């Protein structure tokens, strides 16, 4: 846990290589049954013509629905290990550039740990470790401004409104 700002409740956010391009703000989400990538990322990679038609409806934790724009298989380079990974392409802004869910986690036999901000997986060369980018996770959904007690309405402090 050396180098991890404590205490924390941060998501596991990493960067991956796709065709020699570094994709930042990739969320590792063991709760997700799909790998998801933003269309904008595919556009920046110059791979829009490789999106295959595949309409799916993805449900979020609040049951909000997102219809996919298709699917694409990309070579994900993780710590020198290459895996062909199928992503569903979505249009919306999801706060991160891609999400690697259970299909990818199980494919590489990874063990993600948000507590330790690390992802470990076996390779022919031994166990590889990818460390999370805690600052990127903090910046994704951070509330920056602090408020002094004097600025908080009295009713929040437990005093009755006058």
Q: Does 6 map to a domain?
A: no
Residue at 161 is within a domain: no
Poorest-confidence range of 25-29, 89-93, 148-152? 148-152
Average pLDDT rounded to a whole number, residues 98-123: 94
Comparison of pLDDT for 98 and 92, the residue scoring more:
98
Check residue 19 and report its DSSP letter. Answer: T
CB contact set of 133 (below 8 Å; sequence gap of 6+): 13, 14, 15, 24
What CATH number does residue 133 fall under? 2.40.70.10
User: Dihedral sign, CA of 141, 146, 150, 151?
Assistant: negative
Q: Is residue 27 part of a domain?
A: yes
Q: Which two structure tokens, joined as six digits, stand for 31?
A: 């709760």
* pLDDT over 60 at 156, yes or no: no
* Mean predicted lDDT score pLDDT of the chain: 83
Give the least confident one: 30-34, 63-67, 128-132: 63-67
> Does 21 reside within a domain?
yes
DSSP secondary structure letters along 59-119: E-TT--EEE--EEEEEEEEETTEEEEEEEEEE-S--SSSEEE-HHHHHHTT-EEETTTTEE
Residue 5 lies in a domain: no
Structure tokens at 137: 């996770």
Looking at the structure of the chain, the number of domains it has is: 1
Q: Is residue 66 part of a domain?
A: yes
Segments forming the whole domain that contains residue 37: 12-151
Q: If you average pLDDT over residues 113-137, what whole number do you get?
A: 88
In-domain check, residue 82: yes
């Amino acid at each position: 846990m050396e180098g991890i700002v404590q205490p924390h409740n941060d998501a596991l956010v990493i960067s991956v290589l796709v065709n020699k391009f570094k994709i930042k703000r990739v969320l590792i989400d063991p709760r997700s049954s799909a790998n998801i990538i933003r269309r904008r990322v595919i556009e920046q990679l110059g791979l829009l013509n490789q999106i295959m038609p595949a309409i799916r409806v993805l449900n979020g934790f609040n049951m909000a629905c997102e219809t996919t724009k298709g699917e694409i298989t990309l070579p994900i380079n993780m710590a020198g290990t290459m895996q062909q990974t199928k992503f569903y392409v979505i249009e919306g802004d999801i706060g991160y550039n891609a999400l690697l869910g259970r299909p990818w986690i199980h494919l590489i036999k990874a063990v993600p740990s948000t507590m330790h901000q690390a992802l470990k997986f076996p390779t022919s060369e031994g166990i590889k470790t990818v460390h999370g980018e805690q600052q990127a996770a903090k910046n994704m959904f951070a509330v920056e401004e602090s408020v002094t007690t004097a600025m908080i309405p009295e009713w929040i402090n437990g005093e009755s409104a006058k």
